[in-house]
A = this chain, B = another copy of it.
Amino acid sequence: MPDLKSVPNPLFLRDDELRQGIELLFFGYRDFTARADQTLAAYNFGRAHHRVIYFVGRNPGMTVSDLLDILKITKQSLSRVLSQLVREGFIVQRPGTTDRRQRLLSLTDKGAELERRLTEDQRALVARAYKAAGAEAVEGFKKVLLGLINEEDRGRFRMQNPGGPGSSPGTTSGSGGGAGGAGSGGSR
C-alpha cells in the first residue's frame, strides 16, 4: 500500500472515484429504502414512522430528547408521527423514574411485531449485499460509512479493531448492540 502522505492524489481519491461514491450512495440509499416503504404503505405509515419505530425498538426506554437527537428533526415534526403511533397502540410512554417530566418510549407487542416486519425487509437486503461482498468488504463498507458520519454521532457505533481482514472471529462478538448510545440522561 502506498504511503498516502507522500501521494498528493491517490487513485482512489480521483474525481471520478469520488463521484462514483456519491452515486453509489444515492442509488444505494434509494433502493435500500424502497423495499421497506412498500411494507409501510400497507399500514398507512411513512418513512418517518419507520424511523421512530426502529430507534425506539433499538433503545427501549429512550426519551423523546434522545430520539430527537438521533433523528435531527424538530419536536413538532416528531410529534406528528409519534403521537400517531402512541394513539394507535404501537408505542407506549411512561414517565421517567428519576425525572418525571420525561416520557420514556417503548414498543408495545404490536409495535414490536411491526418493527420486526419492517426491519426484516432491510435486514434481508443488507444481508444479501453483505453475503455477496464478503466479510472483508463489509469491514470496508463500515469503515467508510463511519467516516461520513458526524463526529458526534460516531460514538453510537462501537467498532472493533479496524485491524481488518483476518481479525479473529472469536473476538468479533463484543460490542454488538453498539448504537445504543442515547442514554436516558439526554442533555441537549
Picked from B140, B148, B165, the residue with its CB within 8 Å of the CB of A28 is B148
B164 pairs with A136, CB closer than 8 A: yes
Binds B, one of A6-14, A60-68, A100-108: A6-14
> Which residues A22-56 have CB closer than 8 A to chain B?
22-32, 34, 51, 54
List 9 A-B residue pairs with CB atoms under 8 Å apart, sorted by A's residue number: A4-B131, A12-B173, A17-B138, A18-B123, A21-B126, A24-B157, A26-B51, A31-B148, A141-B145
Task: Determine the distance from Cα of A17 to Cα of B173 in the docked complex, in whole angstroms.
Answer: 10
Known contacts A20-B142, A141-B141; A12 and B72 CB within 8 A of each other: no
Complex Cα spacing A23 to B13, Å: 25
Q: Is chain A's binding surface mostly helix, strand, loop or mixed?
A: helix
User: What is the interface residue range for chain A against chain B?
Assistant: 35 or more
